[in-house]
Structure 1
């Protein structure tokens, strides 16, 4: 398999706004979302806000495009290797008796030492309790 990072090079130079627009259009065309689905606004949470791509200086655009390339390459590599795993399980006759569990971490936190961590045990427990209650 071609090195995935090289396969992704240059594919994200249009920025996140163009990528979001292209992806939602493809998802609607593929029937994943109904016609008329509106793309939500970019994240605007204080401290986590994402501004318009076009307002970034060229150096930041280049850096963030490389970040998106690296992320896309990791996802492509994961997808390829998950395919290899399922092909092997199928060849062994074990695929139907196998559950594949994938977990992910969305990266580092902006937590500042000395502040209360947003992932403190009581915060996580409360969030899990609220999530569980939604299914009751």
Structure 2
């Protein structure tokens, strides 16, 4: 089964913007096999060290990502993007996207420009960059 990542947006309280990613429409295709992944042990990952993880062999949902400035965001279910935006609509954005088999991608965006992109594997990095382009970055 091929599934596409699609971004939509919902404004939450306290100037936090959450972007949900559905399973149809425009977007990057999720790699197959995620349906059979066992859950990973829940933990916190430092984004700069994500490449050390490699393809995790499990679903990273429930864990968190620690960005260089100390911001922590959730890793949601496979195919779901999470974005925290400080001082919406123009503040810095912290992105995570669970790609399933290749792992997780993360990005930091400021002033509409991508400042950093990290991922657990080369495949997750490529997918995350593709999704950022789809999202207009």
TM-score by length of 1: 0.25
More RCO (CA 8 Å, sep 6+)? 1
- Higher strand fraction (1 or 2): 2
Q: Give 1 or 2 for the bigger CA radius of gyration.
A: 1
